[in-house]
Structure 1
Amino acid sequence: MIENPILPGFNPDPNILRVGSDYYIAVSSFEWLPGIRIYHSNDLANWQHLTDILHDQIDLRGNPADCSIWAPQISYDNGTFYCVFTNVHNTTRPFKDCRNYLMTAPSITGPWSKPKYLNSSGFDPSLFHDQDGRKWLLNALWDYRKATPNKSVGIVMQEYKENEGLIGPITQIFTGTELAKTEAPHLYRHQDYYYLLTAEGGTGTGHSVTVCRSKGITGPYEVDPNYPMMTANGRSDSPFQCTGHGSLVQTEDNRWIMSYLMTRPVKGAAILGRETALQEVVWDDAGWLRLKNGDTIADRWLKLPVANNTVKEATQFIDSFDQKLDPEWNGRRLVPNEQWCCLSTRPGYLRLIAGESLQSNFDNHLLAIRQKDFYLEAETLMEYTPSHFNQMAGLVLFLNEQNYLYLFVTHDENKGIVLRMMKCDTGQFTLLDVCAELKDQPIHLKVAVAADQAQFSWRQEEEWQVLSTQPILFLSGGFTGNFIGICAQDLNQFAGSYADFAYFRYQTESQSIDDSMNIKREG
């Protein structure tokens, strides 16, 4: 028995691949770097973060929120791993400025080649390796002339040839159904047909998986008469919502498994973002793909003959900043490196060089990890000696540049070094009317999250003191999920100050969460 989601927290647009006895899943990373996270498993039950494909090969600075790295697809052929992905520069209607790239490597862990530009006609590329040795690139087609807000008009295909690139005509093989918003194409060969899996209905509540098929690779493709084959739309009995963006893998014992994304909303808000789950699928007598449960909604538990049943363990993450940065960390449009998050200057500490504000799309010196749990506690120990109100450092809950909660140390002209909080909710900024005067450094900072609220605390002595409790449902929406991190800003002089962190700890359901918060568990 495998409990879904297998990859909790922000892990959207999963693409699954099997090579021998190894299973891999690639997920979208959007503005977070390193990008294109790869997970590995040998039994589909136990997954580990193995590597990240994108590091400094691409520049994301300046890209708006919810853009950048979309829907990577990994494939394998004749000893070579392939990865195609989209870098989105802009989504302001009516246009979608995006570039599709291809990278290759002899191993899933690299070294990966420099991204090779392919096209810009749409997003969500995938590369299909046919039995005759030919390769085909598929992607969603965007048409700015379309009157509806979403301007996806189906799926196009073009042949790709090694050392030459895209060749031959561009063929539109699917125009979509009335569910619309057709994207995320994945092509498979099964018996006498080519099967095209697409996502339709958008990535929200209408998200669905639609299947069509053809005996010729370029079509015509017929649509499954009982589409969509997966959707939670209108189904309150579904254990998950927003299910879609499916991709297939055949196991060594000839079972078919579909990876897909889903959400677990709390009071309608998917704070953890879009997560990854697995579902067993079967081919019916007419040759169409169906969920094994006979329904169109997913199962929370996947029944497979794996070695051991899996029960989600409490998340435990601690980085003592001893020698190297834990690979769980991400930067916002910046790869974590010694230029701004340094481990060598003061051994045993992480030094964050102060960057631009939390609302910057360029040099936001934020180091963060995914929120994977509804109930958690995160804590750090920091030393920081600001001398100006424009200097800040601390602990943050961060969805994007328009939505965050920040507990920070700064300087006040009358009170000296103080602890304050700021909030940005859908672009509306508030400097909260809470302030604590601090003694000498260091200072412990902590946030305890309980479903839809977060309690921010601090201490310089033995007892924790609560500074503020805030609702957090606004830390949801868009294409990503909430992150928890540490950061530093100097708006007086870029890199003019720094903060030293002794450790960072994240754990699930700490018993020290204040019962007075009285949060009812949901979902």
Structure 2
Amino acid sequence: MLQIKNPVLPGFNADPSIIRVDDTYYIANSTFEWFPGVRLHESKDLVHWNLLPSALSTTTLLDMKGNPSSGGIWAPDLSYADGKFWLIYTDVKVTEGPFKDMINYLTTAEDIRGPWSDPIRVNGVGFDASLFHDDDGRKYLVQQTWDHREYHHAFDGITVTEFDTDTMKLKPETARTIYAGTDVKLVEGPHLYKINGYYYLFAAQGGTVWTHQEVVARSKTLDALSFETEPGDPFITNFDTPELEIQKQGHGALVETPGGEWYYASLCGRPWNHENESSIDPRGWCPLGRETAIQKVYWDEEGWPRIEGGHGGKVLVDAPKDAILTEAPADHSMHDEFDTPKLHDEWNTLRVPFTEEMGTTGDGRLTLVGKGSLSNKHELSLVAKRWQAFNFDAEVKVKFDPFNYQQMAGLTNFYNDKHWSFAFVTWNEKNGRVIEVAECNRGGYRSFLRDDAIPVPDDVEFVWLRTKVRKQSYSYEYSFDGKNYTEIPGTLDAAVLSDDYVLQSYGGFFTGAFVGMACVDYSGYDQTAEFRSFDYKELD
């Protein structure tokens, strides 16, 4: 029998919003500060998924220049009604401190592949907004509500506000809090459904860490505070199932199959531990970020939804009986010869789109113009893809002729502006063109080789750089001929590129590790680097 193996979307694919249109399922995921915004996948069997073009691919739809790390796109909501797709998305501009300045937008499209309409600014009341289409034709924005006041809890319940489709604006006078959450607090990520005469509210609680959970509440009306919470255990949580391979489940959405079966898509994480650590505390590290899992749902005698197999969920889940087998790649390995003028859909940039100001692609090469350092939130030439397996090799061929030490180009493993590593060609006073490796950990910079940086012979035009990621750790290698590789001294801890590590010193980080190419010239002379033949090969 066909089975879903969780996670179905490995690597950083958080906060899934799942829908079905006819016989096709679609999932939209958060992208935070990575561009383009809102990652989309499709499937006909819930098992095999194919990547679609991202929804927010222009600065008209999404302008994140200067956004903080883990700001940007939080928990988009995808729905289908009136013959078109509706996408609600949040652009968060402030992440640290008492405020979460944000703007919620709406865009629509007749085809999931676009084009998407110019955005309508909806409100800034709270993040994780979703659009509910009632069966009487009325529409409502459902959202977490933010309270900056230090004497109140910041998560001020779930608010519903009617949306006027004639004016395409909210009616703020209709806003009311329909659910305050439970004592677990941090209620967020709401999705509303009408099933068998009840309004069912699915909402996340407990924060998107090991205490994460999803609760369900229901009501016959949308009146203020009219929702009662599902009795017994939470709908889904892994707080009390530390031995399960997947953790952090919660924050997701419900979908019904054509045959009347029900499934729930949620975020999850797959932690590992260092050999000297307990598997319980710390529960582990998730460099692959928050991924997407799918669980099967049944309805109990009282009409409450329950997770098949218990509230911890399962790694292997039976697929729908009416699933239509979907062809998809066996894994997420990727090879790019840069032979087209458009970047592959797997590539991402930070905060802004890939334009000629950053570089060009085509004719077998990716050219990047040196801009700011890897800690720069405004001007950065970096093109990267998600880590989507615990074990992989990634390599690229680079041509770069720096004339000062402020110029660097090479291969990076990157989490955010304060957590990354970089194997790069640069220049120093001792040997001229050299290879160095450096790490930025909690904002502190460390060179691995220093005065022992590896000289690049004068007759070498291209340098090959490779990273070998092996679950708990990773390393870098170099080659001058693309065949014979030499390991660069220094093994790095992959935990540094995880939400779990970053959260120990900073609040609110939600992405995952990326691997890719970068060119830095903070001296301001726009020195360019040429990259060829990128290869990412999964070994799991």
Q: What's the TM-score once normalised by structure 1's chain length?
A: 0.94
In structure 2, what is the equivalent of residue 472 of structure 1? 494
In structure 2, what is the equivalent of residue 498 of structure 1? 528
Aligned equivalent of 1:117, options 108, 121, 124? 121
1:317-332 aligned within 5 A: 317-323=334-340, 324-332=342-350
Within the alignment, does 1:249 sit opposite 2:250 as a pair?
A: no
> For the residues of structure 2 that align with 1:315 and 1:176, how far apart are their CA atoms?
38
Aligned equivalent of 2:131, options 121, 127, 130? 127
Structure 1 residues 314 and 327, CA gap change in structure 2 (3 angstroms)? closer
Structure 1 residues 314 and 22, CA gap change in structure 2 (3 angstroms)? closer
Aligned equivalent of 1:186, options 176, 186, 191? 191
Within the alignment, does 1:455 sit opposite 2:475 as a pair?
A: yes
> For the residues of structure 2 that align with 1:283 and 1:291, how far apart are their CA atoms?
9
Aligned to 1:474, the other structure's residue is in SS state helix
> For the residues of structure 2 that align with 1:309 and 1:321, how far apart are their CA atoms?
28
Which residue identity does 2:518 align to in structure 1? Answer: C
In structure 2, what is the equivalent of residue 516 of structure 1? none
Within the alignment, does 1:155 sit opposite 2:191 as a pair?
A: no
Which residue identity does 1:90 align to in structure 2? Answer: V
Within the alignment, does 1:382 sit opposite 2:398 as a pair?
A: yes
In structure 1, what is the equivalent of residue 317 of structure 2? 302
> For the residues of structure 2 that align with 1:299 and 1:341, how far apart are their CA atoms?
44
Aligned equivalent of 1:230, options 233, 236, 240? 236
> For the residues of structure 1 that align with 2:115 and 2:492, how far apart are their CA atoms?
44
> For the residues of structure 2 that align with 1:235 and 1:251, how far apart are their CA atoms?
28
Deviation track 1:350-370 (CA, whole Å, cap 9, x = no partner) reads 111111110011111110000
Aligned equivalent of 1:263, options 253, 269, 294? 269
Does the CA contact (< 8 Å) of 2:27 and 2:42 recur in 1?
A: yes
Percent pairwise identity: 36
Aligned equivalent of 1:46, options 32, 45, 48? 48
Deviation track 1:463-493 (CA, whole Å, cap 9, x = no partner) reads 2111132222111012001000001011111
Within the alignment, does 1:95 sit opposite 2:115 as a pair?
A: no
> For the residues of structure 2 that align with 1:213 and 1:492, how far apart are their CA atoms?
59
1:427-438 aligned within 5 A: 427-433=443-449, 435-438=453-456
Does the CA contact (< 8 Å) of 2:140 and 2:163 recur in 1?
A: yes
> For the residues of structure 2 that align with 1:455 and 1:147, how far apart are their CA atoms?
47
1:11-50 aligned within 5 A: 11-50=13-52
Aligned to 1:172, the other structure's residue is in SS state strand
Q: How many residues matched?
A: 505
In structure 2, what is the equivalent of residue 105 of structure 1? 109
More strand by share: 1
Which residue identity does 2:536 align to in structure 1? Answer: Y
Does the CA contact (< 8 Å) of 1:212 and 1:221 recur in 2?
A: yes
> For the residues of structure 2 that align with 1:84 and 1:311, how far apart are their CA atoms?
28
Within the alignment, does 1:197 sit opposite 2:202 as a pair?
A: yes
In structure 2, what is the equivalent of residue 442 of structure 1? 462
Deviation track 1:405-438 (CA, whole Å, cap 9, x = no partner) reads 1001001122110000110111121122351000
Deviation track 1:101-139 (CA, whole Å, cap 9, x = no partner) reads 111111111111111111111100000000000000011
Q: Which moved more, 1:451-460 or 1:463-472?
A: 463-472
In structure 1, what is the equivalent of residue 276 of structure 2? none
Which residue identity does 2:53 align to in structure 1? Answer: T
Does the CA contact (< 8 Å) of 2:370 and 2:520 recur in 1?
A: yes
Aligned to 1:236, the other structure's residue is in SS state coil
In structure 2, what is the equivalent of residue 514 of structure 1? none
Aligned to 1:253, the other structure's residue is in SS state coil
Aligned to 1:53, the other structure's residue is in SS state coil
Does the CA contact (< 8 Å) of 2:43 and 2:326 recur in 1?
A: no
> For the residues of structure 1 that align with 2:40 and 2:327, how far apart are their CA atoms?
20
Q: Which moved more, 1:215-224 or 1:45-54?
A: 215-224
Does the CA contact (< 8 Å) of 1:231 and 1:296 recur in 2?
A: yes
Does the CA contact (< 8 Å) of 1:22 and 1:41 recur in 2?
A: yes
Structure 1 residues 313 and 106, CA gap change in structure 2 (3 angstroms)? closer
Aligned equivalent of 2:520, options 478, 489, 505? 489
- How far apart are 1:336 and its partner, in Å? 1.8
Deviation track 1:12-40 (CA, whole Å, cap 9, x = no partner) reads 00000101111100000001111101100
Aligned equivalent of 2:419, options 403, 406, 418? 403
Gaps of 5+ in 1: 511-523
> For the residues of structure 2 that align with 1:140 and 1:309, how far apart are their CA atoms?
35
- How far apart are 1:239 and its partner, in Å? 2.6
Which residue identity does 1:335 align to in structure 2? Answer: P
> For the residues of structure 1 that align with 2:245 and 2:405, how far apart are their CA atoms?
47
> For the residues of structure 2 that align with 1:185 and 1:405, how far apart are their CA atoms?
36
Gaps of 5+ in 2: 274-283, 500-508
- How far apart are 1:147 and its partner, in Å? 4.2
Which residue identity does 1:466 align to in structure 2? Answer: E
- How far apart are 1:234 and its partner, in Å? 2.7
Deviation track 1:196-228 (CA, whole Å, cap 9, x = no partner) reads 000000000111000000001235111111241
Aligned to 1:54, the other structure's residue is in SS state coil
- How far apart are 1:237 and its partner, in Å? 2.9
> For the residues of structure 2 that align with 1:229 and 1:486, how far apart are their CA atoms?
41
Q: What's the TM-score once normalised by structure 2's chain length?
A: 0.91
